[in-house]
Amino acid sequence: MSHPSDNPQDVEASLAGASQRTSQPSFEDHVYRPTQSDPSMPSRPPPVSAAALTRVQILTPLSILVSAGTLIVTSILIHPSLSEISEKHANYFTPSSAWLLVYWGVLYLLQIGFALLCVVGQQAETKKLIANGVGVRLAICNFLLAVWSITWVVASPACFVAGEVLLAIIALILLITAAILEFIYPPSAKHPLDWIFVHVPIKMLLISMLQVDVAQQLFMALEWDVSHGNKALQYSVWPTFATILSVGAFSALWIFAFQDLTWAACGIVLNLALLAYKIPDHDRPAEIVAATIASIVLQGVALFGSYLQIYIRRQQEGRIRLEEEEDRRIQIAEAEAEAAAARARADALSSHGSRSRLDSQHALETDLESNEQGLINGHVEDHASNGTKQDDGVSVTRTLGSGALEER
């Protein structure tokens, strides 16, 4: 029994199938994987959904038109208007109409800038901020504001409760949006238009909900307003005191944590708007005045403390860097001193070694010279001794010869 791989046709078929599988692009081939070692291939930012951006571009301008149009109609063309209902049911959270008109006018101008930025913004960071950071939440809030203005002018207890629910939902949506913007898409000095037309209107609308609108509507739903007499207003003194301080403390914590200039400015302006309004024939209690001033002070001190903290941190970081540089300079100086000492020792050893080598070479040369001289002297002495012996032989010979002659 043969193995399937032994058949040449099966082998060719399997090779063809493998080549076909490798030639077909898989899902992994389309996935972008940046390499850390290649600086020319940085990691790409998260993509912006075209559908999400299109929804924002369509719904946001439409919601601004609906909200602004409804507020204008309910403020001017309908009686009783928004301001008339507010004065009829005035409480300690009712702001000055003039201050509020300027505040909301600036808010809607910034929202128009946001709508324009949605259309003309071309930078990737701006598109991500609009599509992912804000999304359609601002549009939802504007639509809910339009519905709220209708419930306000109806001026029935049930409508006041419904309006309170709507304002609470708006505040929750805006708080979530503000948190997303602060933690994921914080404002940057490189993109000032993003801060002006995205961050600022979101914060302005949120702070208006927290410090004025939600509490004012709640006290109207609870019938703690001037339309129900002085006794109803007296019931609301300490709840108003607690609410103002609580919101002020929360605002101060937020401002200190995020160095939020927009929040501090809007909070202080709205507190001043509360102080600027005077309920007819009713003096504002000292407790509420003290709570409002304390809220202003808390937010101002929080802003100052946040910038002071940044200054101190930078000073400490600069001092730490100076100390590190000084330590590094000392280490470099010590290393250079050690290197110089090592070079000096090496030079001393090399000079001593060369001197020793010279002395030994000189001694060797002296020994060689002495040996050569000794050899030369020995050779001369040997030669001299040989000559003496020859001379003695000659003299003996001569003596012997002369003696022989004498004998003859």
Q: Which two three-digit tokens encode residue 385?
A: 């001794």
Distance from the first to the final alpha carbon of the chain: 138
Q: Among candidates 225, 212, 202, which has minimal Cα distance to 276?
A: 212
Q: Specify if 15 maps to a domain.
A: no
Residues 6+ apart with CB under 8 A from 212: 93, 95, 100, 270, 273, 274
pLDDT for the residue 136: 96
**Which is more confident, 174 or 39?**
174
What is the tens place of the pLDDT at every residue in 164-192? Answer: 999 999 999 999 999 999 999 999 888 99
Q: Among candidates 34, 61, 46, which has minimal Cα distance to 125?
A: 46
pLDDT for the residue 316: 81
The label of the residue with tokens 């409760």 reads 161
Q: Specify if 63 maps to a domain.
A: yes
What average pLDDT does this structure show over 295-308?
Answer: 96
What average pLDDT does this structure show over 284-310?
Answer: 95
Give the C-alpha separation, 82 to 334, whole Å. 78
Q: Specify if 274 maps to a domain.
A: yes
pLDDT for the residue 361: 66
Q: Among candidates 130, 343, 93, which has minimal Cα distance to 242?
A: 93
Residues 6+ apart with CB under 8 A from 295: 244, 245, 247, 248, 251, 267, 271
**Which is more confident, 11 or 259?**
259
Residue 42 has pLDDT above 50, yes or no: no
What is the tens place of the pLDDT at every residue in 15-36? Answer: 555 555 444 444 444 333 444 4
Q: Specify if 188 maps to a domain.
A: yes
Q: Specify if 116 maps to a domain.
A: yes
Instruction: Place 79 in a pLDDT band, splitting at 50, 70 and 90.
Output: confident
Instruction: Kindly calculate the radius of gyration of the chain based on its CA atoms and give it in whole angstroms.
Output: 51
**39 three-class SS:** coil
- What percentage of the chain carries pLDDT values higher than 70? 75
The label of the residue with tokens 């003996």 reads 396
- State which residues form the domain around 172: 50-311
Instruction: Place 88 in a pLDDT band, splitting at 50, 70 and 90.
Output: very high
Q: What is the mean pLDDT of the chain?
A: 82
pLDDT for the residue 290: 97
Instruction: Place 349 in a pLDDT band, splitting at 50, 70 and 90.
Output: confident
Q: Specify if 401 maps to a domain.
A: no
- The answer to whether residues 220 and 89 touch, using CB atoms and an 8 Å cutoff, is yes
What is the tens place of the pLDDT at every residue in 365-386? Answer: 666 666 656 666 655 555 555 5
**Which is more confident, 351 or 102?**
102
Q: Tell me if the bond preceding 39 is cis, omega within 30° of 0.
A: no
**45 three-class SS:** coil
What average pLDDT does this structure show over 196-206?
Answer: 97
Q: How many domains does the chain have?
A: 1
Residue 332 has pLDDT above 50, yes or no: yes
Give the C-alpha separation, 296 to 211, whole Å. 12
Q: Which two three-digit tokens encode residue 328?
A: 């590094």
Q: Specify if 402 maps to a domain.
A: no
pLDDT for the residue 365: 65
- The answer to whether residues 272 and 98 touch, using CB atoms and an 8 Å cutoff, is no
**Which is more confident, 265 or 318?**
265
Q: Specify if 239 maps to a domain.
A: yes
